[in-house]
Amino acid sequence: MNKSRLSVIHVDTERSWRGGQQQVVYLHEGLLQEGIKSFVLCRPSSALEKYLKEKRLPHMAVSMRNEADLFSAWKIANAARTHGATVVHLHSAHALSLGILSTFFYGTPKLVGARRVALPIRKNFFSRRKYLTPRVACHVAISEGVRKVMVEDGVDPDKIVTIHSGVDLERIRSVASEPGLKRHLGIPEDHLVVGTVAALTREKGYSTLIDAAASVVNQFPKVTFCALGDGAERSLLEARVEEAGLKERFLFLGFQKVVAPFFHLFDIYVQPSFFEGLGTSIMDAQTLGLPVIGSRVGGIPELVVDGLNGFLVEPGDEEGFGLRICEMLESPKLRSEFGDAARQSITSFSVSECVKKSLELYKRLSCSE
């Protein structure tokens, strides 16, 4: 298909900024740079809308109050018609529902659903129906781990394409460290730092990390744990840290708009998630040459090769995480070797590769009957 005829609309229903919204932006910007017509529909006052406004990127705010919002579905259909969309890419589960509804108003574009979580599809009729309906031309899984779960839940494997999330290698590597950041955070200069970047929610495995940290600190007095992110469980997790006697050794730093300086601060990156579609924060860490200890779930094993660029541990195994963290803390050589291997392995997960594969999919769907 001629590039000039290809037109893509992206729909994202989230209010906050997490890995999914970063991927929408990477894809939107990448398509525009390729000369492709690209337009984003997002919620008013969302973090994504704020970013798109600041960067003056093509977008429109749509309320998208719930999955049965017929007016918003009509707005999506109208935007598709107005922009001559050949593909509508639906970047969340709620967006998928609204996209399907929009076809009753305007059914010309091919629908592409995005699946970012390695969780089973809910068993209720409506959840299953939206992943099995022929109205959706294709589902994009962000990892083979996600794809596997979708196939197990009955989605036609021929309608699933795995396109790994992308990482902006140059952008992250261009951000310098911040002199004095350690001192500013109250971390002793001679401490090693174990870090994680994730929303403060149950599925991110913070309870496992806190329990592991308690055992690590007993063996390594000169170590501090740092967590970047915010979420509903912050007060519970802070209380758990205090109960474990880690108040000065496990720091919650909140949401940070620019995270690269903190990755420079870390000596080890840990991702103890119970569920993870892929792990964009792991990708950021590897881009800066950090060794990673992650759970053996979802797409994490596609990034972390056990014994090569990090370690894999069973989810919820606080003893296993503690042992692996200690092993890395006591060996600068191991941290360096794993970090070098991580920096090399992450090059195959670039934003440009993600945009390229997405564009190939859009062209194929747009040319099909």
Q: What is the per-residue pLDDT across 207-251, written as a single tens digit (0 to 9) for each? A: 999 999 999 999 999 999 999 999 999 999 999 999 999 999 999
| b/e map 38-70, b = 16+ CB within 10 Å | bbbbbbeebbbbebbeeeeeebbbbebeebebe
- Per the CB < 8 A criterion, the answer to whether 343 and 287 are in contact is yes
Task: Kindly give, in sequence order, each residue whose CB lies less than 8 Å from that of residue 184, ignoring residues fewer than 6 positions away.
Answer: none
Tokens for 119, please give them: 């969780």
Q: How many Å apart are CA 280 and CA 275, to the nearest integer?
A: 13
Contact 91, 12 (CB under 8 A): yes
**pTM as predicted:** 0.89
Whole-angstrom CA distances from 351 to 30, 36, 356, 361 are 8, 16, 8, 15
Residue written as token pair 């747009």? 366
pLDDT score recorded for residue 3: 59
| pLDDT the model gives residue 237 | 97
Positive/negative CA dihedral, 122, 102, 277, 153: positive
Residue 160 phi, psi (nearest 5):
-120, 130
Describe the crossing of helices 19-33 and 351-367 by its angle, rounded to 10 degrees: 70
Does residue 19 contact residue 281 with C-beta atoms inside 8 Å?
A: yes
Q: What is the pLDDT of residue 2?
A: 56
Q: How far apart are CA 27 and CA 10, in angstroms?
A: 9
Which of 291, 329, 297 is closest to 311 using CA atoms? 291
Identify the pLDDT of residue 258. Answer: 87
Write the pLDDT tens digit of every residue in 168-197: 999 889 988 899 999 999 999 999 999 999
pLDDT, position 4: 59
Mean pLDDT of successive 10-residue segments in the chain (369 residues)? 80 93 96 97 97 98 94 98 97 96 96 94 81 96 96 95 94 89 95 97 96 97 96 96 95 92 96 95 96 97 97 98 98 98 95 96 87
**pLDDT recorded at residue 23:** 95
- Residue 45 confidence (pLDDT): 97
CA dist 246 and 244 (Å) reads: 5
**What is the distance between the alpha carbons of residues 299 and 297, in angstroms, rounded to a whole number?**
6
Q: Hey, which residues does 167 pair with through a beta bridge?
A: 350
Domains of the chain: 3-166+350-367 (3.40.50.2000), 170-348 (3.40.50.2000)
CA–CA distance, 47 with 67 (Å, rounded to integer)? 20
